[in-house]
């Protein structure tokens, strides 16, 4: 059951459940086309993606690059699991987007000239890399740009237990 804040955003942004967890809606598809190993795709596409506080998106990978653009208000903790047949578990986040004291560190959140942590608002997950995401410190909204275009034919969800 989503929190009141998440439910309100799901309704106002017209989001649908995503198979990996959370909610999404495609918002843009580039008009230009390109051939890929799996057929013709648009050169890029974008979605809104929402996770409720504490919610996780399951391990998955896409054959295209995916650029995460963080909107907040909660932080996104992104874990990368390599490019093998199954994700390699690492309990520490690869990167934290946004302000969350539990995960902000030099590898995930850059420092400003005054030395204070500033939010990392964009992060690239390379094509073919396992990833999973957690919302921390509140509901977390992001835009995900995939190039070439996202297609569920090009997406793989990890088997249960990974």
Q: Are 99 and 119 in contact (CB under 8 A)?
A: yes
Alpha carbons within 13 A on the beta-carbon side of 93: 25
Q: Which of 92, 98, 91, 94 is nearest to 138 (CA)?
A: 98
The confidence score (pLDDT) of residue 33 equals 98
Domain ranges of the chain: 4-157
The confidence score (pLDDT) of residue 160 equals 73
Euclidean distance between CA atoms 130 and 83, whole angstroms: 6
Q: Which of 135, 138, 131 is nearest to 162 (CA)?
A: 131
Euclidean distance between CA atoms 39 and 41, whole angstroms: 6
What average pLDDT values come out for the chain (162 residues) when binned by 10 residues? Answer: 95 97 98 96 98 96 96 92 90 69 44 54 93 94 98 93 60
In words, the CATH class of domain 4-157 is mainly beta
């Amino acid at each position: 059951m989503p929190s009141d804040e998440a439910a309100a955003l799901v309704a106002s942004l017209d989001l649908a459940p995503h198979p990996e967890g959370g909610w999404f809606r495609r918002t843009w598809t580039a008009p230009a086309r390109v051939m890929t190993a799996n057929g013709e795709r648009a050169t890029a596409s974008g979605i809104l993606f929402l996770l409720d506080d504490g919610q996780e998106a399951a391990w998955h990978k896409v054959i295209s690059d995916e650029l995460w653009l963080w909107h907040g208000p909660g932080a996104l903790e992104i874990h990368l699991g390599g490019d093998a047949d199954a994700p390699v578990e690492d309990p520490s986040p690869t990167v934290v987007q946004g302000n969350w004291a539990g995960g902000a560190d030099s590898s995930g959140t850059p420092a400003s000239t005054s030395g204070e942590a500033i939010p990392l608002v964009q992060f690239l997950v390379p094509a073919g890399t396992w990833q999973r995401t957690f919302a921390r410190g509140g509901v977390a909204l992001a835009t995900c740009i995939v190039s070439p275009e996202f297609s569920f034919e090009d997406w793989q969800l990890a088997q249960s237990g990974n």
